[in-house]
Amino acid sequence: MTRKSGSTSGLAPYAAQAAGSAGRRHAEPTSSTRNDFQRDRDRIVHSTAFRRLEYKTQVFVNHEGDLFRTRLTHSLEVAQIARSIARNLRLNEDLVEAISLAHDLGHTPFGHAGQDALNLCMKSAGGFEHNLQSLRVVDELEERYGAFNGLNLCFETREGILKHCSIKQARLLGEVGARFLQKRQPSLEAQLANLADEIAYNNHDVDDGLRSGLITLDQIMQIDLFARHSRVVEKEFRDIAPRRLILETVRRMVNFLIVDVIETSSALIAAAQPADLAAVRLAPPLIAFSTGARTEANELKKFLHDNLYRHYRVQRMATKAQRIVTELFDAFHADARLLPGDYQRSDSSSQARAIADYIAGMTDRYAMREHRRLFAVDEI
Ligand code: MG
């Protein structure tokens, strides 16, 4: 047999192995050139939902500036961080990359404000949660294959995408929800993608927050993780320009957290000695920050929450976003004939879900345009 690039050789015994995957929901012939996790990654990259990430808000709405992170660049940063750590821990880079690239596919336009608004609109129809929606996108909503709905991804990729889930939801999700009922862990690759997400957004939100002027250098110097690294940078490069000081500091913070996860997780894995993926599922979480780094990361998270995400300018945009999402939902709900034909349903509960799918799939600018089309009399 020819060796596929990125083959499973060299992986730790507790890594997820493509050849040992629990499989796809619809059986498919294997590929002669790629393993199953590589195929999953490629399917995600080629999906419509992935391209939409470019025009979806992370914190700053896309049109606020060209240099801020979008969901797409955020997802790429998560994948990069996760792969670096995976390589060092001899975990499966293909799987961790697939999970990372897909983890935000279900996000609504306008970031968390959009999701909260849609969740309220959907209160009597099962609610809306972006993480569940990411799974729904890859399981149902993408329409690119003749034989099935969705991307037909491997079980391991799907369980990684479903980071959290209520017990009530877990009961409805079959095999991919089972671990929440059994209180078991997902693969180390899934645990890792989750932590890489946190490393990415905490650090890039510092960069974007300072770039936007919504937070200041003086403010963030009160945060240990930032202050500690920036003092080293200032010592090493006297008279460094503020912008460079920020970027050099953020770079070192990311590196510090990556090294910390590698060292802490290595020690946890060495102590637990999981023989294989099945043992990983029964063990406690093994991918983690050290206690010190966890404390510092939490402090930074709280700072961003209080000073950036709650900043009045971010709040103004969030309020506008809530209004747009709510008004779109209410208009479609009141009269489904306003919806594109593909989203019209004959019964009311599946109609509500189809409206949520339609709105969740919108990019920021598409949602604004659609809002104008529905509410501005001179717009068609
Ligand atoms: Mg994310």
Q: How many angstroms is it from 192 CA to the middle of ligand 1?
A: 13
CA proximity to 246, closest of 226, 260, 219: 226
Q: How far apart are CA 26 and CA 279, in angstroms?
A: 27
Print pLDDT tens along the chain (380 aa). 444 444 446 999 999 999 999 999 999 999 999 999 999 999 999 999 999 999 988 777 766 777 788 999 999 999 999 999 999 999 999 999 999 999 999 999 998 899 999 999 999 999 999 999 999 999 999 999 999 999 999 999 999 999 998 899 999 999 999 999 999 999 999 999 999 999 999 999 999 999 999 999 999 999 999 999 999 999 999 999 999 999 999 999 999 999 999 999 999 999 999 999 999 999 999 999 999 999 999 999 999 999 998 999 889 989 999 999 999 999 999 999 999 999 999 998 899 999 999 999 999 999 999 999 999 988 77
Q: How many angstroms is it from 308 CA to the middle of ligand 1?
A: 17
**Residue 175 CB contacts under 8 Å (≥ 6 apart), including other chains:** 22, 155
Q: How many angstroms is it from 323 CA to the middle of ligand 1?
A: 23
Q: Give the dihedral sign, CA 140/200/263/285.
A: negative
Give the residue carrying structure tokens 């293909």: 94
Q: How many angstroms is it from 277 CA to the middle of ligand 1?
A: 25
List the end-to-end C-alpha distance of the chain, in Å, as a whole number. Answer: 58
Q: Give the dihedral sign, CA 362/366/368/374.
A: negative
Task: Answer for the pair 206, 226: CB distance below 8 angstroms, yes or no.
Answer: yes
**Top-level class of domain 36-313:** mainly alpha
Q: How far apart are CA 128 and CA 118, in angstroms?
A: 6
What is the pLDDT, as a whole number, of residue 59?
77
> Which DSSP state fits 137?
I
Rg, C-alpha atoms of the chain: 22
What is the pLDDT, as a whole number, of residue 63?
67
Q: How far apart are CA 68 and CA 121, in angstroms?
A: 29
Burial of 75 (0-12, 13-18, 19+ CB in 10 A): buried
**Residue 273 CB contacts under 8 Å (≥ 6 apart), including other chains:** none
Q: How many angstroms is it from 197 CA to the middle of ligand 1?
A: 5
State whether residue 5 is helix, strand or coil.
coil
What is the pLDDT, as a whole number, of residue 6?
43
**Residue 130 CB contacts under 8 Å (≥ 6 apart), including other chains:** 104, 106, 107, 108, 115, 360
Q: How many angstroms is it from 100 CA to the middle of ligand 1?
A: 8
Q: How many angstroms is it from 225 CA to the middle of ligand 1?
A: 21
What is the pLDDT, as a whole number, of residue 8?
47
State whether residue 57 is helix, strand or coil.
strand
> Which DSSP state fits 126?
T
Maximum distance among all Cα pairs of the chain, rounded to whole angstroms: 68
Domain boundaries, the chain: 36-313
The string of DSSP letters for 237-289 reads STT--HHHHHHHHHHHHHHHHHHHHHHHHHHHHHHH---SHHHHHHSPP----
Q: How far apart are CA 361 and CA 355, in angstroms?
A: 10
Q: How far apart are CA 50 and CA 264, in angstroms?
A: 32
* CA 108 remoteness from chain centre: 12
Q: How many angstroms is it from 105 CA to the middle of ligand 1?
A: 9
Q: How many angstroms is it from 103 CA to the middle of ligand 1?
A: 6
Buried b (16+ CB within 10 A) or exposed e, 194-227: bbbbbbbbbbbbbbbbbbbebbeeebbeebebbe
Q: How many angstroms is it from 364 CA to the middle of ligand 1?
A: 17
Q: How far apart are CA 243 and CA 232, in angstroms?
A: 16
Identify residue 358 by its one-letter amino acid code: Y
